[in-house]
Chains A and B, each alone.
Chain A
Amino acid sequence: MLKKLDPLLHSELRLAIMSLLISVEKAGFTYLKEQTEATAGNLSVQVTKLEDAGYIFVKKGFKGKIPQTICNITKKGIEAFEKYVEELKDYLKL
C-alpha cells in the first residue's frame, strides 16, 4: 500500500520553496518570490509553515537599512524532501 505523501510538502508553493532551497546554499525572500512567482503574503505564510516544521531556517536581518530575510534548508528539511521524492517515485513507479 502506498504511503500518504508528506502534507507539508505536498503543496505547490511549499514544494517549490523546498525545491529551490535544496538546490542552493541560501536564498533571500526576494529571490524565492521571483522564482516561485508567488505573492509576498502567500510566500510569507508558507515560509513560516516550513520554518515551524523545522524544514527551513529563516534568518532576518538588514542589508543596509533594508530588511532582509534569508532562508536555508535544514537537515530535517533535506531528509523530508528526500523521503517525499522517494515516495513520489513509488507513486509514479519510477
Chain B
Amino acid sequence: METNEKVLNPEKSLQIIEKMIQRTKGNLHDSSFYFLLWGWVVLIGIVGQIIIERFTDCTKPYLIWLIIFPAVIANIIYGVRHGKKTCVSTHLDSLNLMIWIAFLVSYSIVLIFMKKFDYNIVPIIFLLAGSATFLTGIVIKFKPLILGGIVFWLGVICLFLIPANYVAFISPIVIIFGYLVPGYMLKSYSKRNA
C-alpha cells in the first residue's frame, strides 16, 4: 500500500476489507501466565492446607491462602507490563478480561466471607474458576481450556459424591488438569504461533 490514493474498484475494496479483517484474527494475547500463576498458587494452597491440617498442630490452616495476596500483586504487575507492550486490543480481549474480573470479584466475596461457609469454599471456587476457564476456552477457541473448565465442574461433583477419605486427592487433580495442563498447552501453542 504505497500510494495513498490508488484507484479502487468494488471487488478490490471487498478484498481489502476481507484481508484486513482476516489479519486481526488470532490477535488474542497469550494468557497462559495467569493459568500457570493461579494453578500453582491454588495447588500450593490446597496441598499446603492438607499438610498443615494433618501434620501440624496449627489451628488456622486456612491462613495458607494468604499466598493469594502476593499472587494478586504479581498478577497486577504482569498485567500492567504486558498491557504496556501491547499495541492492539481486540473486543475478545476485553470480553476475556471481563470474564476474569467477574471471577475475581466473586472470588473475593467468597474469600472475605469464607467463615460463613465454614471455610469450605473449595467447591464454590472451583465452580467459579471452572466457569471462567470454560468461557475463556470458548472465547479464544482453545479446546484444552474448555476441557479444563469441564474438569472443574466434574471435580465439584466428585467432591460431593465420593467418600470423605478420597476428597483430599480430588482438588489437586482438578487444579493440575483444569488449570496447569491447559495452561502449559496454551503457553506451548502461543509460542508455536508467535
Contacts and interface: CB of A to CB of B under 8 A. Distances in A.
Contact of B20 (A19, A29, A42): A19
Contacts of B11: 92
Interface residues of B, number: 28
A31 B20 CA distance: 12
B120 interface: no
A46 B3 CA distance: 11
Given A27-B88, A36-B20, 7 more contacts: A5-B13, A11-B4, A12-B6, A12-B8, A35-B24, A38-B2, A39-B2
Nearest to A87: B10
A26 B1 contact: no
Interface of A: 5, 10-13, 15-16, 19-20, 22-31, 35-39, 42, 45-46, 63-64, 68, 84-85, 88, 91-92
Contacts of A12: 1, 3, 6, 8, 12, 16
Given A24-B91, A25-B89, A36 B1 contact: yes
A10 B8 contact: yes
B21 A27 contact: no
B5 interface: yes
A25 B87 contact: no
B94 interface: yes
Given A11-B5, A19-B16, A24 B10 contact: no
Given A24-B27, A25-B94, A30-B87, A45 B17 contact: no
B7 to A, nearest CB: 9
Interface in B68-104: 84, 87-91, 93-94
